[in-house]
Chains A and B, each alone.
Chain A
Amino acid sequence: MGMQQQTYNAIARFVAQESGIKLSDGKAYMMESRLTPVMSEFGISSFEHLATQLMAATSELRQAVVDAMTTNESFFFRDRTPFDLFSNVMLPRVAEAKRANGQPLRIWCAAAATGQEPYSLAISVLENQTVLDGLDVSILATDISQAALGTAESGRYTQFEVQRGLSAQRLITHFDQEGGAWRVKPHLRELIEFKELNLLKSLHQVGKVDIVFCRNVLIYFDVETKAQVLGNIRKQMSNTGYLMLGAAETLVGVTDHFLPTAEHQNLFQPTS
């Protein structure tokens, strides 16, 4: 089932408007493979029809297309380094500042997807209780995709998924077995609040946060959108906070709201 350039452009425009994700040319294969299941679910027979329907789509169809186009496979403790930095740099320093003013420490995972990243952060929080020394910590996990967040909230993963990045020790400490699947234990789940959120819209409901994980999201935005989103993120952050971006993401020429840290090129601190 091939797709005309015109159809591709129309769907790509819809995805960009809804999610900020700019699909470059030549992503037709990705679009086809991700949207074909959505089309059969909604009984839509061709990409031309889909493009037409998106002009006046039901919210269910809009959400399904956004979910399909924005969700990527994830795994626990992905890339490892960000989590080492979280435990060794971010948590101890922010905790010190927080203890001085007696406030709780808030972490925001801005592209939570199916939950592997917020749960990895929650595991790291629990493993660093000595550093935190009784400090109140909470994690806000947001994503644009309702379907992904549903998985995240359920905390239920297949045997394959839990083996991607999770050590056996962490698995049996923080997960219960449920038939052939595994579910996060309440002690981990209760550290996290899940919320649907589009980064292109108002971020006020995020509240004040200290540590922000926003990895591999900005990479899909154009420079103006990046700058706008980063400006909004900055407004939600405490001055002593940290922003962790993905490995391929730099802010050179994008914004002066953040500066890279000496510790790592993808770890940033807000400018005041």
Chain B
Amino acid sequence: MQTASIVKKEKKEKKWLVYFYVLPAFLMHLLFIALPALTTFYYSFFDWNGIGAKTFIGLQNYREMFGDSDFYVALVNNFKWILVFITVPVFLGLLMAAWVSKLKKTQMFFRTVYFLPYIIAASMAGRIWCTYLNPYFGINNVFKALGWTSLGKTLWLGNKNIALYSVMFVDLWHFWGFVMVMFLGALQQVDPTLYESARVEGASKGQEFRYITVPSIMPTLTFVIITIIMWSFLTFDYVWVMTGGGPGNASELISTLVYRMAYSHYRTGYASTICVFQTVLSVLAYAAMQLVKKRGWDV
């Protein structure tokens, strides 16, 4: 009887102790991430410059945002960004993964090289590329030497029709290898006997790709596309260090607009409102991804 009660007591003690395992991580995140995020939502209803008194203005910031032409420029640029990033790296990554997965001796080499730029900080790589793209002392000199005068005169980051695409180009350099490695991992999971039986039945390479490869990588493809959409709403570093959203607001994204509003114009309330909008978009993409995962597509 006595031992039974001791065991019981011990169990009770353990049950209570377990919260000490989880609570530190939980509170740390709640205090420094979740509550500040809610505070952003709270700020979005105020007119505030970050220093003086806050004035409650209800939904006025939201009304201003939906009537703000700068906001629409940023939003359209963000959608251009998404369009480019869900096509170019996905197509390139898929094609290269299909090829690289067939390689034997050199597979590791290409995987290492293609993934390498992804681990370098966007802020650092962005600045290095800026230097290469310098109109007077950068690659334009090489173009001029080759006799390509019009390329040699291009202001890659200073022309408002080109700046956004120049930054995208650099981010593609940085990013597509990540997509390639994701697909490579997925292709290596495909059951090789499927290909064998397809070959026995006389399927062409194209048919193999269409009926075996594509279905097996569908979960990864979906995951990659949703991830790209989510990240595209948040992308900041490359644009900020390369053009700062300029020239004018030609390469402005939602994130750079937020940053300028908050730290150059000191419109903290309004910046928070745009933040709320941005967060909602990216959380929606994240929720879509969780739904996809629930369908059993484990990636």
Q: State yes or no: do A and B come from one complex.
A: no
Q: Name B residues whose Cβ lies closer than 8 Å to a Cβ of A.
A: none
Q: Name A residues whose Cβ lies closer than 8 Å to a Cβ of B.
A: none
